[in-house]
A and B are shown apart, each in its own frame.
Chain A
Amino acid sequence: MNLDIDAGNKRTKKQKIVIDAPAKRRKRGASLDVKKARAGWLFVLPFVLGFVLIYVPIIFDSIRFSFNEMRLVIGGGYQLNFVGFKNYSDALFVDASFVTTLLAGIRQLVLDIPSIVIFSLFVAIILNQKIAGRAAFRAIFFIPVILTTGLIASIDSSNILSSYMDSSTGIDNGTGQASTAAEIVSALDIRDLFSGMAVGTEIVEYVVGLVNNIFNIVNRCGVQMLIFLSGLQSISPAIYESCSIDGASGWETFWKITLPMVSPMILVNTIYTIIDSFTSSNNSVMSYISNVTERSGGDVLASAMYWMYFLIVILIIAIVAGILSAVVFYQRKD
Chain B
Amino acid sequence: MNNAEVKIRKETKNKIKVDFERTPLWERIKSKVLNMYTLKKVVWYLFRFLLLLGISYIILFPFFSKISSSFMSKEDLVDVTVRLIPKHPTLSTYQAIIRDNNYFVALGNTFLLSFVCAVIQTFICTFIAYGFAKFKFKGNKILFLCVIFTMVVPHATLSLSIATKFKFFDFFGIIQAISGNSINMLNTNWPLYILSLTGLAYKNGLFIFMLRQFFRGIPDELEESAYLDGSGIFKTFFRIILPLSGTMLITVFMFAFCWQWTDNFYTDMFYSISGPTLLPDIVKVPKSLDTNYAGSALYTAAIKNACGMLIITPLIILYLFGQRYIIQGIERSGLTAD
Contacts and interface: CB of A to CB of B under 8 A. Distances in A.
Interface string B125-153: 00110111011111010010011001111
Which interface residue of A43, A142, A314 has the most chain B CB atoms within 10 A? A43
A165 B65 contact: yes
A57 B152 CA distance: 17
A212 to B, nearest CB: 12
Contacts of A176: 80-81
A40 interface: yes
B89 interface: no
Which interface residue of B62, B262, B280 has the most chain A CB atoms within 10 A? B62
A253 interface: no
Which interface residue of A36, A264, A290 has the most chain B CB atoms within 10 A? A36
Nearest 9 CB-CB pairs, A to B?
A: A50-B198, A43-B131, A40-B135, A176-B80, A279-B154, A264-B337, A61-B161, A37-B137, A44-B131
Chain B's interface: helix, strand, loop or mixed, by majority?
helix
A267 B199 CA distance: 25
Contact of A61 (B154, B165, B335): B165
B233 to A, nearest CB: 4
A85 interface: no
Contact of B52 (A137, A168, A230): A137
B115 to A, nearest CB: 16
A156 B233 contact: no
B124 A152 contact: no
B324 interface: yes
B335 A36 contact: no
B330 A135 contact: no
Which interface residue of A123, A159, A218 has the most chain B CB atoms within 10 A? A159
B16 interface: no
B83 A146 contact: no
Contacts of B158: 58-59, 62, 306
B308 A155 contact: yes
Interface in B260-317: 262-265, 279-280, 283, 297-298, 301-302, 304-305, 307-308, 311-312, 315-316
B238 interface: no
B259 to A, nearest CB: 6
B319 A147 contact: yes
B143 A47 contact: yes
Which interface residue of B68, B157, B200, B280 has the most chain A CB atoms within 10 A? B157
A62 B161 contact: yes
A275 B152 contact: yes
Contacts of B130: 43
B222 interface: no
A165 B81 CA distance: 11
A299 interface: yes
Nearest to A50: B198
A55 B146 CA distance: 10
Contacts of B302: 161
Contacts of A50: 194-195, 197-200
Nearest to B330: A226
Interface stretch (B4-12, B19-27, B53-61, B242-250): B53-61
Nearest to A162: B65
B165 A58 contact: yes
Interface in A213-235: 214-215, 218-219, 226-227, 229-231, 233-234
B83 A328 contact: no
Nearest to B143: A44
B35 interface: no
Given A62-B157, A62-B158, A159 B127 contact: no
A284 interface: no
A132 B52 CA distance: 11
A227 B131 contact: no
Contact of A155 (B49, B56, B164, B283): B283
B34 interface: no
A322 interface: no
A33 B335 CA distance: 28
Interface string A271-294: 000010011010000100110010
29 contacts: A36-B136, A37-B138, A39-B135, A39-B233, A43-B132, A46-B124, A47-B124, A47-B199, A50-B194, A54-B198, A55-B198, A58-B161, A59-B158, A62-B161, A126-B52, A139-B323, A141-B55, A146-B258, A146-B326, A150-B263, A156-B62, A158-B304, A174-B81, A219-B59, A226-B331, A231-B335, A265-B335, A300-B160, A330-B337
Given A139-B323, A159-B305, A226-B331, A147 B315 contact: yes
B338 interface: yes
B157 A51 contact: no
Contacts of B304: 155, 158-159
Contacts of A165: 65, 68-69, 83-84
Interface string B68-83: 1100000000001101
Contact of A54 (B63, B194, B264, B337): B194
Contacts of A78: 164, 168
A117 to B, nearest CB: 14
B171 A43 contact: no
Contacts of A240: none
B31 interface: no
B265 A150 contact: yes
